[in-house]
Chains A and B, each alone.
Chain A
């Protein structure tokens, strides 16, 4: 078994790096509550995943039987599972893929002044991109007709505060931590968080990881469909070559088939993400089966009315309990 010494022995006098490392972390102690927070957050994740599984109307598809097929020239045929998507038109030659991706990247940067509203089968998530304040409202209802539960995260003055309200049990919890949780919100697009996302997109484009498929009408809106090879992306990120099975031994469960390409629909005029379609391995179905999940995204200006949607306020009369005690009240749906 590998033994981890913790570097207290300075065995590299050539650099002294070990000594400096030892000095640097000598006073580091595990703060109390780290495991509690991990347990609580893991439970919340489980609850949400179960909700997605319970509410999803997305079809189970095998990777080999993906519903969308590329055609020469960028057009596609077949349904995409959205129910409202129509025939894809090839991107006009004036709009190169690189041009589109550059605008897409710029639009995501500009979205920092806006509030995103992401809806999927499990619920609705509001995000103030600038402050990373978030509120999530479950899609299933309590017996009184209200959402079963909701939570909001606020990061202010270096302190992260999460308020969780379970309407079914008429309880709420408030958890605070230092700002170490500030970076928990990802972009709707891969590569967007790179230091130079435009360059990253261009590289991904040249490697076939990202494809600009073409224009597609989606709910009456002109959109541009992108496809992202997630299996390759994950492996590239980790610095591994993609395997024939589409996994790179880096946390993803082994599968008999690689995941289908993720799909991202971009508004053709604003270049903001308006819909995504991702795949997750089915936890119960046969090995290699992928579940598709569709998320629609709306973008709102940070008006006082829209900002008000970002807070969860426990109704009067609800009992305040420790966050770890929420397991009892979320249990029936977790």
Chain B
């Protein structure tokens, strides 16, 4: 079992950092199930080299996820992607939380409308808070490519989200500026 022996270290690492990794994967994929699929594939790839992985396994795993997100891991799929709802979606159907649920779904849908590179750049810059240089290194492209992808991705996201985000005044204000 992964919890013991050969993969014990990896299991311990995932118990600590698994949630954060999956959150990034959900944004990169995008979608709950797609994110789990992406993370699982990244894990599989890392397992192939696990005995030789030294240093920062989180960085290694994230690089795989970013590369796979950009280089078309979806090419494996011939099925139309079904956006995954949060497992506790029912809890958000109450009126008090409906806006939140809508916005979450809108974000996932808007992310799905970006190109893989735009999505990865936006997630790296605005979720991971990586610098442009770090993002370029993670995606294996130039800083200028990161700038362009981030700018275009943000513009598309803003256009998609702004109508749904009236409860976030600063978003609407800046989005219309």
Contact = CB atoms under 8 A, between A and B. Distances in A.
Q: Helix, strand, loop or mixed for chain B's interface? A: helix
A19 B168 contact: yes
A21 B47 contact: no
A195 to B, nearest CB: 10
A7 B21 CA distance: 12
B26 A28 contact: yes
B163 interface: no
Interface in A25-75: 25, 27-31, 34-39, 41-42, 45
Contacts of A180: 33-34, 36-37, 40
Interface string B53-81: 00110110010100100111011111100
A183 B37 contact: yes
B47 A38 contact: yes
B96 interface: no
Given A5-B129, A180-B37, A39 B2 contact: yes
Interface centre among A5, A42, A250 (most CB of B within 10 A): A42
Nearest to B117: A239
A34 B129 contact: no
A186 interface: yes
Interface residues of B, number: 77
Interface in B108-156: 108, 117, 122-123, 126-130, 134, 137-138, 140-141, 145, 154
Contacts of B104: 20, 23-24
Interface string A180-210: 1111111100000100000000000000000
A276 interface: no
B174 interface: yes
Nearest to A4: B128
Contact of A38 (B32, B44, B77, B129): B44
A245 interface: no
Contact of B154 (A17, A30, A234, A251): A17
Nearest to B35: A28
Size class of the contact patch on chain A: 35 or more
Contacts of A237: 71-72, 75
A15 interface: yes
- Interface SS majority for chain A: loop
Given A17-B157, A28-B23, A238 B140 contact: yes
Interface string A240-253: 10000000111100
B74 to A, nearest CB: 7
Given A17-B126, A28-B19, A35-B11, A184 B76 contact: yes
Interface string B1-27: 110000100110010001111111011
Contacts of A35: 2, 7, 10-11, 14, 43
B40 A34 contact: yes
Identify which of A9, A23, A35, A132 gathers the most chain B CB atoms within 10 Å of its CB.
A35
Contacts of B138: 2
Contact of B127 (A18, A36, A184, A239): A18
Nearest to B20: A6
B120 to A, nearest CB: 10
5 shortest interchain CB distances as A-B pairs: A183-B77, A30-B18, A7-B127, A38-B43, A16-B171
Given A16-B171, A21-B126, A240-B140, 6 more contacts: A7-B128, A28-B32, A38-B44, A193-B78, A238-B72, A251-B67
